[in-house]
Amino acid sequence: MVKKYIVDLSEDEVSQLQTLIKKGKHKARKITHANILLMASEGETDQAIAAIVRVHVTTVERTREKFVIGGLDFALLDEPHPPKLHKLEGKEEAFLIATACSNPPSGRVRWTMQLLADHLIEVGIVDSISDETVRQTLKKTILSRGSKNSGAFPK
């Protein structure tokens, strides 16, 4: 198969990559991409590089492509990940905490994470939510559903 993106490194780029690898003070992904570029410039096949560096072949292909299109810095840098949206913010979180501190439904001894999640859906606070999201939200607060004192300071 003919390679579309050929990595041809200058001596300066090779020394820069070797220095980056030897220091070991960079992110593992950046060091992996540096190893990929060095091996690709030496004429190794994508399958051999992927096996040695322990990545998928498409990672090797994408790294070569990024180098040819944007240069060394572009190939080594990670694109920032989009921020994660929170299901519960402000008032919704306060409602969850107030519900967790209130009396449980009849026939129950205490609120469970699943009961709280189902209650938030029933009331219309959210369309869908998992019990794990409820657990993580309550864990952020200083809230112990089992103790009498659920404030910030113990008695």
Taking the model in full, what pTM does it have? 0.56
Residues 6+ apart with CB under 8 A from 37: 7, 9, 17, 63, 64, 67, 72, 75
Per-residue pLDDT at 146: 55
Per-residue pLDDT at 1: 57
- pLDDT, one tens digit per residue, over 108-150 is 999 999 999 999 999 999 999 999 999 988 888 765 555 555 5
Per-residue pLDDT at 86: 83
Is the pLDDT score of 27 beyond 60? Answer: yes
Q: How far is CA 77 from CA 28, 38, 58, 72, 90, in A?
A: 12, 16, 17, 9, 35
